[in-house]
Structure formats: C-alpha cells, structure tokens
Amino acid sequence: MKLNLKFQTLLAILICLFLSINAKADSKDTLNLSSLVNRAFKSGEALKYKVYYTASIVYIPAGEVGFNAELEKYNEKTCWHFKGTGSSYHSYDWFFKVRDLYESYVDTLLMLPIKFLRNVQEGSYRLYHNVTFKQDKHIAISTKGVYKVPPGIQDIMSAVFSIRNVDYSKFKIGQKVPFNIFIDDEIWPIYIRYLGKEKITLKYGTFNCIKFSPYLIKGSLFKGGEGMTIWVTDDANRIPIRIESEVSVGKVRADIIQMQNLRNPLTSKLN
C-alpha cells in the first residue's frame, strides 16, 4: 500500500519536520534511535503550529497541528505517550476537512515504540491503524497482518520525539543520514540532509536555527525529492519552528505558535 499523502499533511508535514531535526551517523548506516538518551523534552511538553497554504504570494491559514508528550502507564509500565493531532480550520473544511490523530506508546529506556495508533479523517478518506511492536522479536503486528521489521524500528510519532536527542555537533553541510520507520504496513527508508545554521524570524520571535531538508516520498501532495526546508531551534530543546515545502500545487508553511513546559531554556530565541 502506498503511503497516503493527500492532505495528511496538516500532520504529516509537521511529522516530516520533526523527522528532519538532526542525526549523527555515517551516511552508509541506518540511524539507531534506540541508543539515544532523552534530554530534549519532558512530560507535559506541548507544541502547537499554524499551517498555511499558498498558490501565489499570499499565505492562507489552513489549520493547526499539535504535539504532546506525557509519561503514562501502559500495560502497567511507565511509558512515553506521544500524541500528534492535525485539524483544518472550520473555514477551510469545505475545501478539505482534516481531523487526524496519531499516538505512540514508547519504552522510556530504549526509546522504541510499543504501540502505535492512527485514526485519520481527510476529506472522504478514513483510516484506523493499530500496530503492536514486539521489538525483541523484530515484528510488527498490525490490523492487517504480522510483519518482519529491522532492529530499532520506529513509528512516526516515536521518531518525531526520539530524533530530537541526536547529536548534530559533528555534522558536515550536505551530509545525509538515513533511518527507518514503519507506517502503512511497510518499512520506509528516509534520509535527511543537513544544510547548516541560519537565523530566522517569525511572529513568535527570532531564533538561531539548524536547517535541514528531508527526502520526501513522491505522492499526490508532495512532489518527491528534497523540496522541503525545516528550521529547528539551535538549543537543547531541538524544537522545529518553521517548515516550508513545495506541494503539487503551491506551497505550504507551518510556523510554531505555542510552546509549553519545555525541558530546557530556550536559548536560541533572540527576541
């Protein structure tokens, strides 16, 4: 099954944004996110983004995306509960109504997913997906079958948060770093390219940032290739603050509008 890229977007755009934060590995190797120690976020963190669309020079607000991290009990074990929500504005629903929910329960020590839930409504498209990961056996059990997966496999939400902890200090401009995620009952190899550092200003303020470009899988929304640019805070929080991407018709931008309960001082913010 191909990865649905319709307007899965309000969420998927921000997901790609997080996935593109920073990674340190030889470009010939697959990044092992399970070796990371969390220093970037804490329980109670909440991030919110406004998503804009343009087919000319005017950016029109289309919806919002939120990401939350909480420590909760799952099967009597304390786990990270990561949640991503995407919603189009009611004024935009006539064009394409989006109500997306992604959830992941993640082992706090290994930073590997245990359970992944996906419940999306995108126009007339509906999907419910439930995946249980048996990391010790290297299998994923979904609503449609049992699949062999490589060691250290991530789902979208676990990767979204885990990769914020990767050391980028030895990056070279242009370096590509690959890793794997499991979605739609397939293993997707993804890579990101480090583009250096840059100062960027948006309504929330001016930030020192790290700049990246992810490789996008070609679909009905994205053109494929490296047509997306991401800026994340150059501090210990590694928070994505802006993403810009070409889509099939026009461009999409997502800007952060709210940050709550950050683990570390926001030292990248200049004003």
Question: What single-letter DSSP state applies at residue 250?
Answer: S
Q: What is the pLDDT of residue 127?
A: 82
Give pLDDT, residue 69: 97
User: Over 90: is that where the pLDDT of 264 sits?
Assistant: yes
CA distances, 257 to each of 51, 85, 168, 199, 227 (Å)? 10, 15, 25, 18, 23
E strand or H helix that includes residue 15: helix 9-19
Q: What is the pLDDT of residue 18?
A: 41
Lowest mean pLDDT segment, chosen from 107-116, 128-137, 161-170, 226-235: 161-170
Mind listing the pLDDT tens digit for each residue in 216-226?
554 433 344 45
Contact 20, 212 (CB under 8 A): yes
- Element containing residue 100 per DSSP (H, E): strand 98-107
* Measured distance CA(40)–CA(164) in Å, rounded: 6
Would you state the pLDDT for residue 72? Answer: 97
Q: What is the pLDDT of residues 233-259, one digit of tens each?
A: 999 999 989 988 877 677 888 899 999
> What are the chain's domains?
9-260 (2.40.360)
Q: Cβ(207)–Cβ(271) under 8 Å?
A: no
Percentage of the residues of the chain whose pLDDT score is greater than 70:
82
What is the average pLDDT across 109-119? 92
What pLDDT, on the 0 to 100 scale, is given for residue 146?
A: 97
Are 228 and 245 in contact, with CB atoms under 8 Å apart?
A: yes
* Euclidean distance between CA atoms 26 and 245, whole angstroms: 26
> In this predicted model, what pLDDT tens digit does every residue of 164-181 receive, in sequence order?
887 777 788 988 767 788
pLDDT of residue 178: 73
What is the mean pLDDT of the segment spanning 132-139? 96
Q: pLDDT over 90 for what percent of the chain? A: 37
d(CA 44, CA 41): 9
55, with CB counted inside 10 A (0-12, 13-18, 19+), is: exposed
Rg (CA), the chain: 17
- Asked if residue 103 lies in contact with residue 113, where contact means CB atoms within 8 angstroms, the answer is no
Provide the 3-class DSSP secondary structure of residue 13.
Answer: helix
Winning range, highest mean pLDDT, from 92-96, 137-141, 167-171, 225-229: 137-141
pLDDT at 108 over 90: yes
